Chain A
Amino acid sequence: AQSVAQPEDQVNVAEGNPLTVKCTYSVSGNPYLFWYVQYPNRGLQFLLKYITGDNLVKGSYGFEAEFNKSQTSFHLKKPSALVSDSALYFCAVRAPLGGYQKVTFGTGTKLQVIP
């Protein structure tokens, strides 16, 4: 069975500082990995995904994520945090042959950017 772990319920970072939101995964075969952001009372917004290719994936709003196969990690990063980045972030994984019904989401990490 596939799984996703987001070890931090909340991450606090000062505005302008770099941020990292951690994610580790477990899946059979090569993973399809995703990051979504959710603002209060809103649906998930796609940030970026890794399917194959470069381990460093660049996404929306200046976010990027680094795929590390040996550590089975897919941490979300941003060089300089903005207050508007404060939201709930979900990491997700699915096996290559699974559709979105087979997506497993992490429990989410609340990012709080402090002015």
Chain B
Amino acid sequence: AAGVIQSPRHLIKEKRETATLKCYPIPRHDTVYWYQQGPGQDPQFLISFYEKMQSDKGSIPDRFSAQQFSDYHSELNMSSLELGDSALYFCASRARGGVNTEAFFGQGTRLTVV
């Protein structure tokens, strides 16, 4: 069965550079969530989209932006990268169907800022 695909799997950037992370949800899933997991930390919700519109916003820095496209894939854009942005970023997708539908997580993009 198709899963949530994230690319790239690993990314190394220098401070002050920009990075773009991509998330391809499971087909027919219309909701995407982005999370950030720092080293030894629990995942923190960043932002979510439903039907290509931002649905909720968590602890996402102003330097970050995201969008969901017509094919439902989502991109997380990160600018002016800082060392503290080094983390595992993963997204989850979910189908419409009420509060009981399950979210499925991608394998994550490991971002290292040097």
A interface residue numbers (CB < 8 A to B)? 32, 36, 41-46, 49, 51, 90, 96-101, 103, 105-108
B67, CB-defined interface residue at 8 Å: no
From A36, A98, A100, B33 is in contact (CB under 8 Å) with A100
Residue in A32, A97, A101 whose Cβ sees the most chain B Cβ within 10 Å = A101
**A-B contact list, 21 entries, CB within 8 Å:** A41-B110, A42-B107, A43-B4, A43-B105, A43-B108, A44-B43, A45-B105, A46-B102, A46-B104, A46-B105, A51-B100, A96-B99, A97-B99, A99-B48, A100-B31, A101-B45, A101-B48, A101-B56, A103-B45, A106-B42, A108-B42
Looking at chain B, what size class is its interface with the partner chain?
20 to 34
B interface residue numbers (CB < 8 A to A)? 4, 6, 31, 33, 41-43, 45, 48, 55-56, 58, 88, 90, 92, 94, 99-100, 102-108, 110
Q: Give the number of A-B contacts (CB < 8 Å).
A: 57
Q: A44-B105, A90-B42 are in contact. Are A100 and B58 (CB under 8 A)?
A: no
Q: How far, in Å, is A103 (CB) from chain B's closest CB?
A: 7
Residues of A within 8 A of B110 (CB): 41
Label chain B's interface by main secondary structure: strand
Label chain A's interface by main secondary structure: loop
Residues of A within 8 A of B90 (CB): 43-44
Q: Which residue of B lies closest to A45 (CB)?
A: B105
Residues of A within 8 A of B100 (CB): 51
Residues of A within 8 A of B56 (CB): 99, 101
Q: Which residue of A lies closest to B9 (CB)?
A: A41
In the complex, the answer to whether B105 meets A41 with C-beta atoms within 8 Å is no
Residues of B within 8 A of A41 (CB): 88, 108, 110
In the complex, the answer to whether A105 meets B42 with C-beta atoms within 8 Å is yes
Q: Which residue of B lies closest to A107 (CB)?
A: B42
